[in-house]
Structure 1
Amino acid sequence: MERSIRFVIPVLIIFAMLLAACAPVAAPTEVPATEAPAATEAPTAVATQAEAPVFTEPTEPITLTYWAVVPTQSQFELIYKRWQELHPNIKIEFQHFQDTSEYSQKLRTALAAGEGPDLFMVFKNEVEQFGSFAENIEPYAKLNWGENWQDSFIPVAIPSSTMKDGTVIGVPIGVESQEYVLYNKALTDSLGITTMPTTYEELKAMAQTIKDKGNGLIPIALGAKDKWHITGFYIYLANQFAPGKVYEAEAGTAKWDDPALLDAMKAWKQMFDDKIFQDGAVGLATYPDARDQYYYSRKSVMFMTGSWHVGSYALPPSGEKIGTTIENDETGAFLFPQVGPYPATATAQVSWIFSINNSIKDQVAKDAAYEFFNFFVKGEGAQLNADTLQASPVLKGIQITTLDKLPFQSDRDSVNMLIEALGNAQGNMRFSYTELEDAVGTAMQEVATGVKTPEQAMQDIQAASDQIAR
């Protein structure tokens, strides 16, 4: 389990997100001239790196398949447009998934049957699960990018995509964080709400105003069916009651019935008692359910999500907001307010990794897959992807060029808020063990629906934690 990310992320994300110019490349060091060896001495062999092969465009059209949750369909189309200009004979059939659980399940089944996509994304906490199906990209990277290829990315990037046995299964595309709230400023203005909450009491008061004056508007739409989302929110909350304690419990060095961890679960329950979220939240996924049925339909004032939505959803022409009921509404975002005794601090980590299926038999197709991989993680595609504002880039030197395209100042202010929050981020936003994510997610759902008390929930989590092979 990686703990170093907790300390390196603040500096790294500031570096990646502050729109810094490309880092200068060191000039080659001049080697002083030396005397030629004596005639009786054999010349010393000089090791040279093998020259990278030049990619040859296929003479006949070929098609690769690509599955992912990120990028979105519209974001991919922007990236793919440029790819097709460069490589018209290499088509890519992209299948976008909105439900992350469905994605992981279908990908696992397809890969195991030998029918998986040529290109796919892997979540950081599923590297060991899917790593055996992915190409080890390190030989390619060394040959094409140089022996020190890892230095092109922020330090946490490649370790996050490396299996325990040292296999590098791909390259991460971005760093993401939780927990944020999107809000419809047009609606808050109409209700006389002029400032966003920074404490839970302020949030509760804001929610009451919405319920009193909003003619049926829901304060916050939440998709609590998604365990990945609500467990990330629990980690965010737990760090406000005892910073770092949740990671100790994850590692097995602290108990889940620790008073601070129990208080975080009680805080979660209180939000449902206070009706901060819509009824039936546990039955709805974050995407598309809560987002589309409530926030984009103008039935909720706010929507719980992560950094991947801040700014990106309002960015034309690919933003998800475009074409919805709230397309012309001014919107913004804020960090979910402080709930516990310690400050609200974003959690963050590398979220997903771009991988190549290692079962591709046709060499032309494999070469094409690696060419798209290069384009997406280190070439023009990396810039295009960064400009969607979907995530903080891991490739050093990327400059975001699209901030001025955001339609409202509140959107631009939200991105600046995100930069600051990411710069102060502490700790991983997701568990490293999928078994733990499942146990905590189930416990949270049972607490939210009243099936279990917070105390019973923590006992269930502890029982599941005891079964994890660490």
Structure 2
Amino acid sequence: MTAHLSRRTLLGLVGAGAGAYLLSACSDDESGDPDGPQTINWWHIQNTEPMLPVWAAMAQEYQGAHSNVTVKIQPLENEAFKAKLTTATQAGDPPDLFQSWGGGVLRQQVDAGLVKDLTDDVRPWIGGLLPAALQPFTIDERIYGVPFDVGMVGFWYNKDLFARAGITAMPTSWAGVLDVVRKLKAAGIVPIALAGKDKWPGHFYWAYLAMRIGGLGALQQAAKDKNFDTPDFVAAGERLKELVDLQPFQKGFLGAEYGSPDGQAATIGNGGAAMELMGQWAPSVQASSSTSKKGLGDKLGFFPFPAVDGGKGSAAEVFGGGNGFAVGKDAPAATVDFLKSLLTADSQRRAAKTGAVLPTVKEAAPAISDPNSKIVAENLANATGFQLYLDQAYPPAVGQQVNDSVAELIAGNKSPAQVVKDVTQVAKSQ
């Protein structure tokens, strides 16, 4: 996989606006002595197979090689993590090592003095990482987090259900997506699984449509002007409403979570819906959430979010981001060294082999074995532009309002015009 060659061109394109969740957990460096006893409190969201045991094994190995260091791991579900992190950071007490998506969220943590500047510590080895993956973690040319995974959001689909509905070609336009939905419904198949309760999965649709209609520049200009009340953003809502009006989602979707046993990922993994719009982690969460714990296997396919007819954006512009870690302000001395151990080529190969991680270390790229992960990596490699998730790229309040207002549109409670007015109002208040 030669994704790093093309991804380098994305370095200046990643849309890292400004937004943030805050965090908390006591640092426990009993001595202040680098060789004295140290406890690293580590929070992450890989709380299921296949990465949960991989992280645990890496922590055990590090402890075995450093008798003075204890790593206390707290795996948390995505939404639970965000809530706990908010409480922690508002108390000014972040964990020592914690999940981060970079962007505006990280910027606020930086501005609040909650995270360490890692630039000098990581300089000897950070050159081995994909530059585009680092972009969301770079604030004012300083590095405040290290990504272990990078990828994009796209459509994951059940090949058998598509075949049953007579769908032989993947859609290359938004109109084509709507046609696919109609064909699936006509065949008695639920077209799309959606975690309506969690809200963030819904914002993927609106954000991608805004990108396709207005281009990346529209998203960046809106953040700069604090104005989303423009024809392109209204049109994105109107295109999304076209989908919503077809009633494509599974029964009870408004109360569905993403990773719960009856949630979005499980609905796909159990064959209860034909497709979902989700990031590179989708296959592993589908599998771990499914009844069989295996998911769809080779029945699962992937296609990128298509163009919108007449839009200014290209289908080669991708929306997504990566997972990484930031280091809390009071973290013990061993924390950065432990983080380095997670980002060695060997550690990244182990993570990549699970199929749940698209590695950021260039040397580990050949370890991607999952066919769908390879497809995602190829799409990412050919991308001409990159936009970070809006609920991470923009200031936290703005990102949350995007999620909330789009959820209201999907529920039928807000118009496309109301969505952009709500988001603009919050943006101007920041």
Superposition TM-score, scaled by structure 2 size:
0.78
Contact 1:14 1:423 in 2 (8 A): no
Which is greater in Rg? Answer: 1
Contact 1:307 1:418 in 2 (8 A): no
**How far apart are residue 121 of structure 1 and its match?**
1.3
CA–CA separation in structure 2 for the residues paired with 1:334 and 1:419: 11
Query: Match for residue 28 of structure 2?
Result: none
Distance 1:257 1:268, change over 3 A: same
One of 428, 432, 436 as aligned partner of 2:398: 436
Contact 2:270 2:291 in 1 (8 A): no
Query: Match for residue 193 of structure 1?
Result: 167
Query: Match for residue 169 of structure 1?
Result: 144
**How far apart are residue 9 of structure 1 and its match?**
9.0
1:334 aligns with 2:273: no
**How far apart are residue 268 of structure 1 and its match?**
1.0
Q: Gaps spanning 5+ residues in structure 1: where?
A: 1-7, 17-54, 361-365, 407-411
Query: Match for residue 48 of structure 1?
Result: none
Query: Match for residue 76 of structure 1?
Result: 52
Distance 1:398 1:239, change over 3 A: same
CA–CA separation in structure 2 for the residues paired with 1:281 and 1:240: 26
Contact 1:188 1:301 in 2 (8 A): yes
**How far apart are residue 263 of structure 1 and its match?**
0.8
Structure 2 letter corresponding to 1:273: D
1:387 aligns with 2:353: yes
Contact 2:307 2:315 in 1 (8 A): yes
Q: How does 1:154-303 map to 2 (within 5 A)?
A: 154-164=130-140, 168-178=143-153, 180-214=154-188, 217-243=189-215, 244-252=217-225, 255-288=227-260, 290-303=263-276
CA–CA separation in structure 2 for the residues paired with 1:157 and 1:325: 29
Q: Percent identity, please.
A: 22
Q: How does 1:97-116 map to 2 (within 5 A)?
A: 97-100=76-79, 102-113=80-91, 116=94
Please give the secondary structure, in 2, of the residue aligned with 1:428: strand
Query: Match for residue 96 of structure 2?
Result: 118
Distance 1:321 1:338, change over 3 A: farther
One of 292, 302, 319 as aligned partner of 1:323: 292
Structure 2 letter corresponding to 1:153: L
1:461 aligns with 2:423: yes
Structure 1 letter corresponding to 2:264: R
**How far apart are residue 356 of structure 1 and its match?**
2.5
Contact 1:347 1:426 in 2 (8 A): yes
Distance 1:139 1:200, change over 3 A: closer
CA–CA separation in structure 2 for the residues paired with 1:341 and 1:238: 12
Please give the secondary structure, in 2, of the residue aligned with 1:220: coil
What RMSD over aligned residues (CA atoms) do the two structures have, in Å?
Answer: 3.5
Distance 1:425 1:256, change over 3 A: same
1:424 aligns with 2:405: no
**How far apart are residue 123 of structure 1 and its match?**
2.2
Query: Match for residue 127 of structure 1?
Result: 106
Q: How does 1:389-408 map to 2 (within 5 A)?
A: 389-403=355-369, 406=370
Q: Gaps spanning 5+ residues in structure 2: where?
A: 12-32
With 277-286 and 231-240 compared, the bigger mean Cα shift is at 277-286
With 231-240 and 343-352 compared, the bigger mean Cα shift is at 343-352
CA–CA separation in structure 1 for the residues paired with 2:361 and 2:266: 35
Distance 1:150 1:381, change over 3 A: closer
**How far apart are residue 126 of structure 1 and its match?**
1.1
Distance 1:345 1:222, change over 3 A: farther
CA–CA separation in structure 2 for the residues paired with 1:293 and 1:161: 31
**How far apart are residue 334 of structure 1 and its match?**
1.4
Contact 1:108 1:130 in 2 (8 A): no
**How far apart are residue 438 of structure 1 and its match?**
1.8
**How far apart are residue 130 of structure 1 and its match?**
2.9
Please give the secondary structure, in 1, of the residue aligned with 2:397: helix
Deviations 1:330-373 (A, max 9, x none): 2111123334423434424643331233324xxxxx34433321
One of 16, 19, 42 as aligned partner of 1:66: 42
What is the total number of aligned residue pairs between the two structures? 394
Superposition TM-score, scaled by structure 1 size:
0.72
1:357 aligns with 2:320: no
**How far apart are residue 418 of structure 1 and its match?**
4.5
Please give the secondary structure, in 2, of the residue aligned with 1:393: coil
Please give the secondary structure, in 2, of the residue aligned with 1:298: coil
Structure 1 letter corresponding to 2:178: K
Query: Match for residue 19 of structure 2?
Result: none
Contact 1:197 1:337 in 2 (8 A): yes
1:374 aligns with 2:351: no
Deviations 1:308-343 (A, max 9, x none): 336x558xxx96669337456621111233344234
**How far apart are residue 292 of structure 1 and its match?**
4.2
Structure 2 letter corresponding to 1:172: P
